[in-house]
A and B are shown apart, each in its own frame.
Chain A
Amino acid sequence: MVETSYIPQTLEEALRIRKETGAKPLAGGTDLMVMHRRGTGVVPSFPWPVMIISSLEELKYIRREGDDIVIGSGTTCHAIEDDPSVPYAVRTAASLMGAESLRNLATIGGNVCNASPKADLPVPLIMMDAKVTLVSATGSRTLLLDEFITGPKETDLKDDELLLEVRIPLPEKDYSHVWYRKIGTRKANAISKLSLSAAVTLDADGFIKDFRSANGASGPKVARSTEVEKILEGKNVTEIPSVLEQFLDAYDAILSPHAMPTYRRLSTRRMLAHFLTEVASGTQNMIVT
């Protein structure tokens, strides 16, 4: 049992503590406090020193930088849910996380770094090629979120680093159609049983310029394959029916659910088929339901 905890007041101080002690960051605490609870009337106990970073105002922002939406790691899910500049799928995923009280505490940084296969935000973020910027006392680096999360509950975060921000590149041309759906264990305050985020960009002649989709809770990490996406790219929407089965089979092969395999595979298949069929039908709705 380690009793040490730090409460840095600035990012600079946090990075110094991180480098000197290796203390692990705790932001909203909605995962860590539960994971390390010790029963009624007893404070949680962590096996390592803890640094509480929830008071670092420097990490709480949502802003536009060029063609990117940049979200500071200390930004709460509630703030993300409330900001219209955040892309639809990310905003919706944030709005469906846990309960209101949890969303007031839980941060994007925590959700990303906890790297749960059932986490909500990484699904639309990875679909959109979001990047993460990691900082340390000696420098910074930026990499794809999909590469940063290396496995269930595993990331590439180094012992002296903190997650500074998540950077979402906005598509050159707005998606023509977007899909986001979370299947929770119930209609609210639920952990994800399955989630699917997808988007398509069509040109004026109905050719698919871009297609992307990502799944949560259906494998050790968010499932996405640019190879599989290429099956659809360049095709005209009129060709969707003829390539649909081939695409769905290929997409299915990237899923590896360890429980409820039938449910997760079949629901994913049906949702993608529904989305693409709606697109092929020429729907005018950008948000497909």
Chain B
Amino acid sequence: MQQTSIGRSTRRVDAIAKASGHTQYIADYTFDGMIYAKMVRSTVPRGKILDISIPVLPSGYSFISAKDIPEGGKNQLHMIKTDYTCFADGEVRFIGETIGLVVGPDRGVLQDLVDQVKVTYEEGEYAVTIEDGLACKGGAFVGEDNCFCDFTINKGDVDEIFAGSDRVFEEEINTGWQEHVHLETNGAIAMPEGDKFVIHVSAQCPFYVRKSIASLINRPYEDIIVRQSVTGGAFGGKEHFPDVLAGPLLVAAYVTGKPVQLIFDRHEDSAYSVKRHPSRTRFRTAVDKDGNITAMDVDVVYNAGGYESCSYVVLQRGVFHATGVYNIPNSRVRGRAVATNTFPSDAFRGFGAPQTLFAVETHLAHIATQLGIDPFELKKRHFLKKGDVTVTNGHIYETVVLPEMAQQVLDESGYLEKAKTYAPGSLRGVGISFYNHGGAFTGNGEQMIIKARVRLRKNSDDTVDILIGSTEMGQGFQTALTKIVADELGIGLERVRYPQPDTSVVSDSGPTVASRSTMIVGAIAQRSAARLREQWVEGKELVVEEEYTHPEGFPWDQSTFQGDAYIGYGWGACVIEVEVDPLTTEVNTKGIWSSHDVGLAIDELIVHGQINGGIAQSLGYAAMEKLDFSAKTGFKQTGLSDYIIPTSMDFPSQVCTLVDNPYEFGPHGAKGMGELVFNGASAAYIDAVSRAIGKEIRSIPVPPEILMEMM
């Protein structure tokens, strides 16, 4: 019997198939009669489509566009809202917007045909930056002010404090786009099956896909069966974006009656896919004569690109994390998501929190330096603790162990000594950051919107199948959940199967997003397994199904954003040490020390993998992952030779510590951690680099050429 012990490291249930190359990904699928698709995309950032000229198509080839949507169908993708068009019709809002698909049997021929499609535009003036969008450059195309959303939350009375404050610090912090670079590019196949349609897709959220695309052909959700293919990485880039492939493919399968496959190559996946929202965060911070922060007035703007997608929800998370892990007595945070003529911004690990957490950490470090104290001193004075009132006037329910975590990273890194020894501008520096991440859906989303259900089926051979829509995408959830269920049932891992979700078979356990799967779905699965154990009769087939239940005592008003935005948080502390090369300003990262509170690790190896990857991704975000707009190609960097992500050579091995702080409502005390581990390293790195060069850095990323110009 393979060991199931919770906590300790287990060989992943998918390890052998993946490591040996046996796993079939979407690009490996073939079906009888399958044809291929290539996208025809807009080549201008904003314009009216005057004409689409199609070359003479050989037999067996067709051009699929808005005109092919059947009567009663709607040319829209239903993400959070329905503003995202499936096929651009009449106007385009950004370079890379889908205009149509050319489909047919030979991909070489398809590429030639796509090259011959000529779209004529009446081009319009376009907006790229947050400032362009807010200024409605070229005229607003969303509402009257180009804002998809605009809201403000208040705690205490900010204006009164500012009126009588001793010192006020004002600062603006900016962050750039980031590309997900999931190892497997996006891909999907749509095909008829009986009187229904099947979508095979590399995706995080199979139920999202069917909801998004069913109205294109005017069918109920149940007529669209989504089967998740083994997914080689996602990071949020396969939360809503698979709809952009699956929608047009569904129409193509509807029209042709054939299986239609679309796989992006790396260039397409980089140039024409969603990105992390660029951000601009402005602070006004009041500090009293003792150096305590008494009020913060924060203005957050995210660049949402051409369609809203999930920007409103991303922005909410950004706003709710804008004062970081600190108890600021009075705060006001305004959030806006602005429309621009760039590829839509969307979900990306951290989901809006990394931008504001980077901003507040960086801002506090600068305030501390100006007050003449170490950033750690200023930060620890304001650490949130159990019972404190949050930015949304909710409360911190759990014991916050930040002081212990801080001590761990201080001891391991020698931070205090180094911070004193390395003079500003000495080309050596240490930096420190603290961060958290609200687990699961914001507010009452879990109980009002998601209503997750978990189904377990015991077969007559006494094996158990986990039948849910939650997905493995490389993060290790298949292993974590199998362990939870096997452990509760007291059986070996090999007797529990967790097949790839099929929406016609499994229950909807909600999307695999928001660091919610282990914390929320894991808890329901544990409860389901406990019930199955009670009913267990050898040799008998049994099915149990359990629903999410919301813990008492977490009020939330979604109309005013007041109350408990989250029912529990993961917490993190990070210290980074750097040396800047005096000749080339290249940054050598000398040490990375982190401590995380994830409640309890269901599997330590998986958690360590997440920490290592999350921190490296966060450091790439700060140091090198630069994306610039190009009026020719959408983004100037369109592949992995010019969009630079870190390799294992760029950062040293990490010292990772976990603290034990079991979470009351999670399975075995586990809570969310997949995004937490991205949220803080960027700020610690920039703090360290800032000290090393003796200059305040207010914008990321900062490759060496930017550092040199600053010095």
* A interface residues with partner B (beta carbon < 8 Å): 1, 37-43, 45, 181, 183, 185-191, 193-194, 260, 262-263, 266-267, 270-271, 274
* B interface residues with partner A (beta carbon < 8 Å): 27, 36, 38, 107-108, 111-112, 263-265, 267-268, 582-586, 624, 641-642, 644, 646-650, 703-705, 708-709
Whether A185 touches B108, Cβ cut-off 8 Å, given contacts A263-B704, A270-B582, is no
Of chain A, the residue at the smallest CB distance from B588 is: A187
A186 contacts B644, CB within 8 Å?
Answer: yes
CB distance from A88 to the nearest CB of B (A): 19
Whether A39 touches B107, Cβ cut-off 8 Å, given contacts A188-B647, A188-B649, A263-B709, is yes
- A38 contacts which chain B residues (CB < 8 A)? 108, 111
Selected contact of A41 from candidates B36, B267, B649, CB within 8 Å: B36
Whether A40 touches B584, Cβ cut-off 8 Å, given contacts A186-B646, A186-B647, is no
- B646 contacts which chain A residues (CB < 8 A)? 186
A187 contacts B650, CB within 8 Å?
Answer: yes
B265 contacts A271, CB within 8 Å?
Answer: no
Of chain B, the residue at the smallest CB distance from A43 is: B108
Determine which residue in A39, A42, A266, A267 has the highest number of CB atoms from chain B within 10 A of its CB, and name it: A39
Bound Cα distance from A194 to B704, whole angstroms: 12
11 pairs, A vs B, C-beta closer than 8 Å: A1-B112, A186-B649, A188-B647, A188-B650, A191-B641, A260-B705, A262-B708, A262-B709, A263-B585, A267-B583, A270-B584
B624 contacts A186, CB within 8 Å?
Answer: yes
Bound Cα distance from A191 to B637, whole angstroms: 13
B582 contacts A186, CB within 8 Å?
Answer: no
- A43 contacts which chain B residues (CB < 8 A)? 108
Of chain A, the residue at the smallest CB distance from B586 is: A183
- A42 contacts which chain B residues (CB < 8 A)? 107-108, 111
Bound Cα distance from A188 to B647, whole angstroms: 7
- B642 contacts which chain A residues (CB < 8 A)? 185, 191
Given contacts A37-B265, A37-B267, A39-B38, 19 further A-B pairs with CB under 8 A are A38-B108, A39-B107, A39-B111, A40-B263, A41-B263, A42-B108, A43-B108, A183-B584, A183-B586, A186-B624, A186-B647, A187-B647, A188-B649, A260-B705, A262-B709, A263-B585, A263-B704, A263-B709, A267-B584
Bound Cα distance from A188 to B111, whole angstroms: 33
A183 contacts B708, CB within 8 Å?
Answer: no
Of chain B, the residue at the smallest CB distance from A264 is: B705
- B36 contacts which chain A residues (CB < 8 A)? 41
Q: How many A-B residue pairs have CB under 8 A?
A: 71
Bound Cα distance from A266 to B584, whole angstroms: 8
Bound Cα distance from A187 to B583, whole angstroms: 16
CB distance from B21 to the nearest CB of A (A): 16
Of chain B, the residue at the smallest CB distance from A271 is: B583
Determine which residue in B263, B267, B705 has the highest number of CB atoms from chain A within 10 A of its CB, and name it: B705
Of chain A, the residue at the smallest CB distance from B708 is: A263
B650 contacts A271, CB within 8 Å?
Answer: no
Selected contact of A183 from candidates B112, B624, B704, CB within 8 Å: B704
B705 contacts A263, CB within 8 Å?
Answer: yes
A39 contacts B265, CB within 8 Å?
Answer: yes
Bound Cα distance from A45 to B582, whole angstroms: 46
Bound Cα distance from A270 to B650, whole angstroms: 23
CB distance from B298 to the nearest CB of A (A): 33
Bound Cα distance from A262 to B586, whole angstroms: 15
A266 contacts B708, CB within 8 Å?
Answer: yes
Selected contact of A45 from candidates B108, B584, B641, B650, CB within 8 Å: B108
- A188 contacts which chain B residues (CB < 8 A)? 647-650
- A45 contacts which chain B residues (CB < 8 A)? 108
Bound Cα distance from A263 to B708, whole angstroms: 7
CB distance from A2 to the nearest CB of B (A): 13
Bound Cα distance from A181 to B708, whole angstroms: 18
Bound Cα distance from A287 to B370, whole angstroms: 43
Of chain A, the residue at the smallest CB distance from B620 is: A186
Determine which residue in A45, A185, A186, A271 has the highest number of CB atoms from chain B within 10 A of its CB, and name it: A186
- A263 contacts which chain B residues (CB < 8 A)? 585, 704-705, 708-709
Bound Cα distance from A262 to B704, whole angstroms: 11
Top 3 nearest A-B pairs by Cβ distance? A263-B705, A188-B649, A187-B649
B647 contacts A189, CB within 8 Å?
Answer: yes
CB distance from A270 to the nearest CB of B (A): 4
Bound Cα distance from A220 to B704, whole angstroms: 22
CB distance from B147 to the nearest CB of A (A): 35
Of chain A, the residue at the smallest CB distance from B645 is: A186
A40 contacts B709, CB within 8 Å?
Answer: no
A267 contacts B708, CB within 8 Å?
Answer: yes
Bound Cα distance from A188 to B27, whole angstroms: 29
A271 contacts B584, CB within 8 Å?
Answer: yes
B265 contacts A190, CB within 8 Å?
Answer: no
A262 contacts B705, CB within 8 Å?
Answer: yes
A270 contacts B583, CB within 8 Å?
Answer: yes
Bound Cα distance from A52 to B708, whole angstroms: 44
Bound Cα distance from A71 to B108, whole angstroms: 38
Of chain A, the residue at the smallest CB distance from B266 is: A40
- A267 contacts which chain B residues (CB < 8 A)? 583-585, 708
- B264 contacts which chain A residues (CB < 8 A)? 40
Bound Cα distance from A237 to B586, whole angstroms: 29
A40 contacts B107, CB within 8 Å?
Answer: yes
- B267 contacts which chain A residues (CB < 8 A)? 37, 39
- A266 contacts which chain B residues (CB < 8 A)? 708
CB distance from A8 to the nearest CB of B (A): 26
Bound Cα distance from A148 to B650, whole angstroms: 36
Of chain A, the residue at the smallest CB distance from B269 is: A40
Bound Cα distance from A191 to B586, whole angstroms: 15
Determine which residue in A41, A193, A194 has the highest number of CB atoms from chain B within 10 A of its CB, and name it: A41
Bound Cα distance from A188 to B651, whole angstroms: 11
- A183 contacts which chain B residues (CB < 8 A)? 584, 586, 704
CB distance from A262 to the nearest CB of B (A): 6
B650 contacts A186, CB within 8 Å?
Answer: yes
A185 contacts B644, CB within 8 Å?
Answer: yes
Bound Cα distance from A147 to B267, whole angstroms: 35
Determine which residue in B582, B648, B650 has the highest number of CB atoms from chain A within 10 A of its CB, and name it: B650
Bound Cα distance from A133 to B315, whole angstroms: 62
Of chain A, the residue at the smallest CB distance from B589 is: A187
A40 contacts B265, CB within 8 Å?
Answer: yes
Bound Cα distance from A267 to B704, whole angstroms: 10
CB distance from A191 to the nearest CB of B (A): 6
CB distance from B208 to the nearest CB of A (A): 24
- A260 contacts which chain B residues (CB < 8 A)? 705
Bound Cα distance from A32 to B38, whole angstroms: 23
CB distance from B200 to the nearest CB of A (A): 16
CB distance from B134 to the nearest CB of A (A): 29
Of chain A, the residue at the smallest CB distance from B705 is: A263
Bound Cα distance from A271 to B704, whole angstroms: 15
B644 contacts A274, CB within 8 Å?
Answer: no
CB distance from A44 to the nearest CB of B (A): 10
- B644 contacts which chain A residues (CB < 8 A)? 185-186, 190
Bound Cα distance from A262 to B710, whole angstroms: 11
CB distance from A97 to the nearest CB of B (A): 13
CB distance from B628 to the nearest CB of A (A): 11
Bound Cα distance from A263 to B27, whole angstroms: 42
- B263 contacts which chain A residues (CB < 8 A)? 40-41
Whether A41 touches B650, Cβ cut-off 8 Å, given contacts A185-B644, A270-B583, is no
Bound Cα distance from A1 to B644, whole angstroms: 32
CB distance from B267 to the nearest CB of A (A): 8
- A193 contacts which chain B residues (CB < 8 A)? 705
Bound Cα distance from A262 to B584, whole angstroms: 11
Of chain A, the residue at the smallest CB distance from B646 is: A186
Bound Cα distance from A181 to B581, whole angstroms: 13
